[in-house]
Structure 1
Amino acid sequence: MLKMNVLIVGNGGREHALAWKIAQSPRAERVFVAPGNAGTAVDAENVDLSATDTAGIVKFAKENNVGLTVVGPEAPLVAGLVDALQAAGLRAFGPSKAAAELEGSKVFCKNLLRNADVPSADYRVFRDAESAQHYLTEREDTPVVVKADGLAAGKGVIVCSNREEALEAVERIAEQKEFGDAGNQLVIEERLVGQEASVLAITDGRTILTLPAAQDHKPAYDGDRGPNTGGMGAYCPTPLVTDKLLASVESDVLVPTVHQMKRNRRPFRGVLYAGLMLTKGGPKVLEYNVRFGDPECQPLLMRLKTDLLEVLDAAVDQRLDEIGELEWDPRPAVCVVMASEGYPGSYEKGHPIRGLEEAAALPDVKVFHAGTSLIDGQVVNVGGRVLGVTAMGESVAKAKLAAYQAVKCIRWQGAWCRKDISDKALGIDS
Structure 2
Amino acid sequence: MKVLIIGNGGREQAIGKKLLEDNPFLKLYFYPGNGGTKIIGKNIDHFHSLRKLVCFAKKENINITIVGSEMFLMEKIVDMFHYQKLQIFGPHYQASRLEGDRSFSKNFMKKYGIRTPDYHTFRCYQRAENFFKNQKGSFAIKTNGLAYGKGVILVHNQEEAKNALKKIMIQKKFGKSGETVIIEEFLTGIEATVISIFNGKKIIPLLSSKDYKKIGENETGLNTGGMGCIAPHPSFNDSIWKDFKKNILTPTLEGLRSEKLNFLGFLYFGLMIHHGKVYLLEYNTRMGDPEAQTLFPLMNNNLLEVFNSVFLKKEIHFVWKKLHSCCIVLSSHGYPLEYEHGKVIYGIDSLKEPFYISGMKKIKETWITSGGRVLNIVGLGNSIKEARNLAYDKIKNIKFENMYFRKDIGKI
Secondary structure at 1:213's aligned position in 2?
strand
Give the number of equivalent residue pairs: 412
User: How far is 1:28 from its partner?
Assistant: 5.0
* Equivalent-residue separation in structure 1 for 2:384 and 2:147 (angstroms): 31
1:414 aligns with 2:402: yes
* Equivalent-residue separation in structure 2 for 1:376 and 1:314 (angstroms): 41
Conservation of the 8 A alpha-carbon contact between 2:299 and 2:319? yes
The structure 1 residue matched to 2:104, chosen from 108, 120, 125, is 108
User: How far is 1:135 from its partner?
Assistant: 1.1
Residue type matched to 1:19 in 2?
A: G
User: How far is 1:56 from its partner?
Assistant: 2.4
* Matched residue, 2:297: 302
- 1:283-319: CA deviations, max 9, x gaps? 1011111111101111100101101111122223332
The structure 2 residue matched to 1:16, chosen from 13, 16, 19, is 13
* Matched residue, 2:70: 74
Conservation of the 8 A alpha-carbon contact between 1:28 and 1:309? no
Any unmatched runs of 5+ in structure 2? none
* Matched residue, 1:398: 386
Conservation of the 8 A alpha-carbon contact between 2:144 and 2:182? yes
User: How far is 1:265 from its partner?
Assistant: 2.4
* Equivalent-residue separation in structure 2 for 1:53 and 1:329 (angstroms): 40
Conservation of the 8 A alpha-carbon contact between 2:23 and 2:304? no
Conservation of the 8 A alpha-carbon contact between 1:37 and 1:374? no
Any unmatched runs of 5+ in structure 1? 425-430
* Matched residue, 2:286: 291
* Equivalent-residue separation in structure 1 for 2:319 and 2:380 (angstroms): 16
User: How far is 1:21 from its partner?
Assistant: 0.4
More off after superposition, 91-100 vs 388-397: 388-397
More off after superposition, 268-277 vs 7-16: 268-277
Q: Structure 1 pair 25/247, CA: closer, same or farther in 2 (3 Å)?
A: farther
Residue type matched to 1:355 in 2?
A: G
* Equivalent-residue separation in structure 2 for 1:31 and 1:53 (angstroms): 20
Residue type matched to 2:268 in 1?
A: Y
* Matched residue, 1:130: 126
Residue type matched to 1:419 in 2?
A: K
* Matched residue, 2:333: 341
TM-score by length of 2: 0.97
* Equivalent-residue separation in structure 2 for 1:338 and 1:15 (angstroms): 17
* Equivalent-residue separation in structure 2 for 1:159 and 1:316 (angstroms): 40
The structure 2 residue matched to 1:207, chosen from 197, 202, 209, is 202
The structure 2 residue matched to 1:145, chosen from 140, 146, 170, is 140
1:216 aligns with 2:211: yes
Residue type matched to 1:389 in 2?
A: I
1:48 aligns with 2:48: no
Q: Structure 1 pair 27/416, CA: closer, same or farther in 2 (3 Å)?
A: closer
User: How far is 1:43 from its partner?
Assistant: 2.4
Residue type matched to 2:370 in 1?
A: V
User: How far is 1:252 from its partner?
Assistant: 2.0
Secondary structure at 2:194's aligned position in 1?
strand
* Matched residue, 2:257: 262
User: How far is 1:228 from its partner?
Assistant: 1.0
* Matched residue, 1:428: none
Residue type matched to 2:350 in 1?
A: E
1:276 aligns with 2:274: no
1:86 aligns with 2:82: yes
TM-score by length of 1: 0.93
Conservation of the 8 A alpha-carbon contact between 1:22 and 1:28? no
1:38 aligns with 2:35: yes
* Matched residue, 1:376: 364
**What's the C-alpha RMSD, in Å, of the aligned pairs?**
1.4
User: How far is 1:163 from its partner?
Assistant: 1.8
* Matched residue, 1:427: none
* Equivalent-residue separation in structure 1 for 2:349 and 2:387 (angstroms): 19
* Equivalent-residue separation in structure 2 for 1:281 and 1:241 (angstroms): 10
* Equivalent-residue separation in structure 1 for 2:226 and 2:151 (angstroms): 13
Secondary structure at 2:304's aligned position in 1?
helix
